Amino acid sequence: MQDQWVEFPHLSLAGRSLMEGIVSTVETQLGSQLNPSYTPADVRSFKNADGSGEGSVNIKSGKEGSKVDFVLGSWLHCKLPFGALNIATIIGMVSHLTDTPHLLFEFIQSSPSSLVLVLDLLPRKDLVLEPEYLQWFYEDTKLDIPRQTLEKAPEAQPYVSSSLYVRSVVSPTAILFKISTESQGNEGTVDSMDKVVKDTVEPVVKEVVGIWLEAISTRGRSMQEHEQGLLLRRDNMIKTKGVEVDLSSNMPRLFGQDVADRVVAAFRKGI
Amino acid sequence: MEASEAEEVWIRFPYLTGPCRSMMEDIAESIEQHLGSLLHPSRTPPDVTHFTSPRGNAEGSFILRSGANTSQVRFVFGWWIHCKLGAGTLDAATLFVMLGPGNDAPHFMMEVIQNDSSNFILLLDLLPRKDLVFNPDYLKTFYEDTELENYGQLVEKAPQSQFYVPSSLYVRSAVSPTALLFKFRDLSSPHDLHSLVEELIHPTANKVFRTWVDAFDGCRGRPEVEEEEKMMILARDEQIRSIGIEKDLSYLPKLFGQEIADRVIAAIRKGQ
């Protein structure tokens, strides 16, 4: 049993347990397809000039010929006037040799009583043009059920990304919710959020990640050469317009351009 | 209304109530105004323009008008169904402008589903003709550079509104990132929704339709798309037609019997 590859030191108990648990599961299942991490030390740990923010980005690339392009675990922690902003992310990028959707999981906590969840299996193909892909990866796997479960939770409200591009990238079963425990009053909000995270959020996340891992091993189809090229191009669009824009919009402001550039470079290289 | 005006009304929605009815009929009229000269009069057979279920508990109408130049406008259609279910009723009404593969302007879609006068569901969208992930410039031209997002946010603010998530994953995939998908219900008084539709929803529908007209007019001025792109657009439109539209009508056999359902599907496929 190896040491935890990525830790999330600034999250609450339940948040930390959730994120580290998912990292561990992903690593265990995909471990044989992954290289050790070559992420430079100054990307694995960085701070901003006045110490009000720190972060960590950790990447393990997939082995040559494997189904995995890379897996990424990262966190940002910024002290704010009335608390802290924590952004924890897990990404599972699938290689162009197979067509399984990518995994995107973001746990964004802007206050003890307010959490934004982004959890999705990002499609590799245009679902309107290829309904069989939609059927195979989204309908047959009953991926909408975990989303419906969370939708019913009284603490959950739909979260709409301000980026139209992000809205286009996510799947029709994307889990996009704001979780709010504000109505419970100020006493013990950390505990009430932790309870919701443990009882309501965690089972749903585990279910979706489970579906993803199974899809990698049993549902992904081998791509012919001409299909690989198409997947690569589409994936690059998702990486640059989707993820990079996300990374480079907050990071320069919080950590300076230098750090932002380093992180984007690591992400591009997939190490 | 003058007799000549009445003749040009290509579809009515007799079972929708009050402001929802005015809204749908108004948009139908706008479609006639902007596209009338590009469309054939309807050639839909009379047993498709109006049909009733064998048990008499449901009624429907499907009217299609094909484009004179199907490369630009493929067809427009409107349909409605009205059914009595136990103690209540269900009414659904749709207007759809399906463009041809010679241009890449979005299709226009509007649907209202009403259980009774105290609530209804709205789907209102400009459906993309391209994969937005691969074509961010398309996203910019037809969505980011318009006011569509603002129109949606304004409706979102209304206390009677809630997001509506279609049960069909395909429909969720086909709609744009600025699609207006809402459930509305009366909060206080029965006329609550009445005013909301008159003051906000109907004007919004007009603005969205106006945005669509601008998009379509913008594309008309340009040369037709390249052959390869045309094939791509056509392939996509075919999926929207067969899965988005035909599958949406999958309850027809149950309500009206296989014969009527087949006739309606045939009308769509023939483009008449």
pLDDT at A89 over 90: yes
Minimum CA–CA partner of B127 in chain A: A128
Calpha distance B124→B106 (Å, rounded) = 12
- Please identify, in words, the CATH class of the domain defined by A13-240: alpha beta
Calpha distance A238→A227 (Å, rounded) = 17
| Model confidence pLDDT, tens digit, residues B196-222 | 999 999 999 999 999 999 999 999 877
Please spell the DSSP secondary structure of A210-263, one letter per residue.
HHHHHIIIIIPPBPPHHHHHHHHHHHHHIIIIIIIHHHHHHHHHHH-HHHHHHH
Minimum CA–CA partner of A145 in chain B: B167
Calpha distance A47→A54 (Å, rounded) = 4
Q: What are phi and psi of B128, to 5 degrees?
A: -65, 150
CA distance A14 to chain B (A): 29
Confidence of residue B3 (pLDDT cuts 50, 70, 90): very low
Neighbours of A250 (CB within 10 A): 15
Could you tell me if A211 and A121 are in contact, meaning their C-beta atoms sit under 8 angstroms apart? yes
pTM of the model: 0.93
| Model confidence pLDDT, tens digit, residues A228-256 | 999 999 999 998 887 777 776 777 777 88
B98, B125, B131, B183: best to mutate for the A interface, most A CBs within 10 A? B131
Give B131: exposed, middle or buried? Use CB within 10 Å, 0-12, 13-18, 19+: buried
Q: Would the CB atoms of A234 and B133 count as touching at under 8 Å?
A: yes
CA A261 from centre of chain: 20
Residue B71 belongs to what H/E stretch?
none
The structure tokens listed for B151 are 């129109």
Residues in A closer than 8 angstroms to B173, CB to CB, are: 127-128, 134, 171-172
Give percent of chain B with pLDDT exceeding 90: 72
Could you tell me if B140 and B130 are in contact, meaning their C-beta atoms sit under 8 angstroms apart? no
Q: How many CB pairs under 8 A join A and B?
A: 63
| Model confidence pLDDT, tens digit, residues A127-167 | 999 999 999 999 999 999 999 999 999 999 999 999 999 99
pLDDT at A1 over 50: no
Q: What are the structural domain ranges in chain A?
A: 13-240
Among the partner residues A126, A144, A167, nearest to B169 by beta-carbon distance: A144
**Residue of B77, B16, B61 whose CA lies nearest to B245:** B77
The structure tokens listed for A226 are 């001409």
Distances, alpha carbon B33 to alpha carbons A73, B10, B75, in Å: 55, 11, 15
pLDDT at A215 over 80: yes
| Model confidence pLDDT, tens digit, residues A32-78 | 999 999 999 999 999 988 888 999 999 999 999 999 999 999 999 99
Q: What are the structural domain ranges in chain B?
A: 3-271
Q: Which contacts (CB < 8 Å, 24+ apart) does range A22-27 have?
A: A22/A90, A22/A105, A22/A205, A22/A206, A22/A209, A23/A73, A23/A90, A25/A206, A25/A209, A25/A213, A26/A71, A26/A90, A26/A92, A26/A103, A26/A209, A26/A213, A27/A2, A27/A60, A27/A71
Could you tell me if A267 and A244 are in contact, meaning their C-beta atoms sit under 8 angstroms apart? yes
Q: Would the CB atoms of A164 and B177 count as touching at under 8 Å?
A: yes
Q: What local confidence, expressed as pLDDT, does residue B189 receive?
A: 74
Among the partner residues B143, B174, B178, nearest to A128 by beta-carbon distance: B174
Local structure of residue B144 (DSSP, 8 states): I
Q: What are phi and psi of A32, to 5 degrees?
A: -65, -15
Calpha distance B211→B112 (Å, rounded) = 19
Contacts of B185 (CB under 8 A, 6+ apart): B118, B119, B160, B162, B193
For the domain with range B3-271, which CATH number is right: 3.40.1500.20, 3.40.120.10, 3.90.1150.10, 3.40.190.10? 3.40.1500.20
| Model confidence pLDDT, tens digit, residues B229-254 | 999 999 999 999 988 888 778 888 88
Task: Please give the single-letter amino acid code of residue A231.
Answer: L
H-type helices in B54-164, by residue range? 136-139, 148-157
Minimum CA–CA partner of A144 in chain B: B169
Residues in A closer than 8 angstroms to B139, CB to CB, are: 164-165, 168
pLDDT at B169 over 60: yes
